[in-house]
Amino acid sequence: MYLNQISTVLFDLDGTLIDTAPDLAYALNLTRSNYGLPPIEFNDIRQVVSLGGAAMIKLAFNVEKTDAEFPEIRDKFLSIYSDNIHTHSKLFDGMENVINTLDDTGYRWGIVTNKPEWLTTPLLESMGLDKRVKCVVSGDTLPYMKPSPEPLLHACKQLQCPADVCVYIGDAKRDIEAGCAAGMLTIIATYGYIEETTILDEWGANSMISHPEELLEWLNNGQL
């Protein structure tokens, strides 16, 4: 497949486009503090951020979604996070150049995330990305979330483009599963929130990048 057929780049949000781990870690540790618990090391939290809020709560409290105390902990955690959603979060190093280059060279870019809309929209607005991104599909836009391909296919409908002109970039296995099932090329953002013991070759992605600007090199490569 020739990469010059690619016209659209779709990003996962947390751990791929934006480094949100500092604010999420702050919220999680403040929630622990409210329960009289000591903080967790930042790197331990960072590795599970892309797995979602339930995974972070399980790490911090050893509580499953089916446990009775889960809703109260989740609500406190998300309330604190919502109040601090753009305190330290920022684009990953080099990502500003990436999206500027995509804009300047005619590529369209969008976001497909499992983060709910009520958290996604304020974050993008606070960072000024809402006026630049061509489409946003949040975790509650549809009845389905990744690893279902439906959110990615919905992005294609919004952009009026076929899946085979898209590449999806993410830092979780479900991102790659969703992208492959949608018929897109897929890239693992190895700079993202990935557990150190993960065997990335097992995910079945087309490529991996260790820095955002490697995406530009990948797009300029000519063919896969």
Which position among 12, 19, 23, 175 bears the catalytic label? 12
Which position among 14, 19, 171, 175 bears the catalytic label? 14
Question: Does this model's pTM top 0.85?
Answer: yes
For residue 140, what pLDDT is reported? 98
Q: Which two tokens stand for residue 42?
A: 């930042």
Q: Which of 123, 113, 95, 93 is nearest to 168 (CA)?
A: 113
Q: Which CATH class is domain 3-19+91-219?
A: alpha beta
For residue 5, what pLDDT is reported? 87
14 carries an active-site annotation: yes
Q: Which two tokens stand for residue 218?
A: 């990948």
189-221 burial, b at 16+ Cβ within 10 Å, e below that, comes to bebbbbeeeeeeeebebbbbbeebebbbebbee
- Report domain extents, the chain: 3-19+91-219, 21-83
pLDDT in tens, the chain (224 residues): 445 689 999 999 999 999 999 999 999 999 999 999 999 999 999 999 999 999 999 999 999 999 999 999 999 999 999 999 999 999 999 999 999 999 999 999 999 999 999 999 999 999 999 999 999 999 999 999 999 999 999 999 999 999 999 999 999 999 999 999 999 999 999 999 999 999 999 999 999 999 999 999 999 885 43
